Amino acid sequence: MNNKSDKPEVTDSDCLQAFDHLYAYINGELSDPRSVAMIEHHLSHCRSCYSRAQMEREINDRLKNSGQPKPPPGLKSRLDKLIDEFEDE
Ligand SMILES: [Zn+2]
């Protein structure tokens, strides 16, 4: 694939790089301004990542509005117990 067009092309590796930081970006946890700029640049060019980011953001908002952003406190210990039981077999 050597034919370069003058349009900004999005490659899979660009998407993967953006995805690496997408969740932190959406959660406002991304502090490195270069990563923020990289993601915003990518989202402005890549429609699929942009719509993905929109969707994640919407899900995030709903979780926040539901008042239960974290899994219930008992969940982790139940999972640990399940794993313990698996290991015993
Ligand atoms: Zn992308």
pLDDT tens sequence across 43-58: 999 999 999 999 988 9
Task: Write out the two tokens for 3.
Answer: 């034919």
Distance between Cα 49 and ligand 1 center (Å): 4
Q: Would the pLDDT of 34 be above 70?
A: yes
Please report whether residue 2 resides in a domain.
no
Please report whether residue 4 resides in a domain.
no
Distances (CA, A) of 10 to 36, 52, 72, 80, 81: 17, 15, 39, 41, 45
As residues whose CB is below 5 A from the ion ligand 1, the structure lists 15, 46, 49
Please report whether residue 40 resides in a domain.
yes
Distance between Cα 38 and ligand 1 center (Å): 11
Domains held by the chain: number = 1
Please report whether residue 3 resides in a domain.
no
- Which residue segment(s) compose the domain that 51 sits in? 12-88
Higher-pLDDT residue of 62 and 2 is 62
Distance between Cα 15 and ligand 1 center (Å): 4
Nearest to 43 by CA among 59, 58, 22: 22
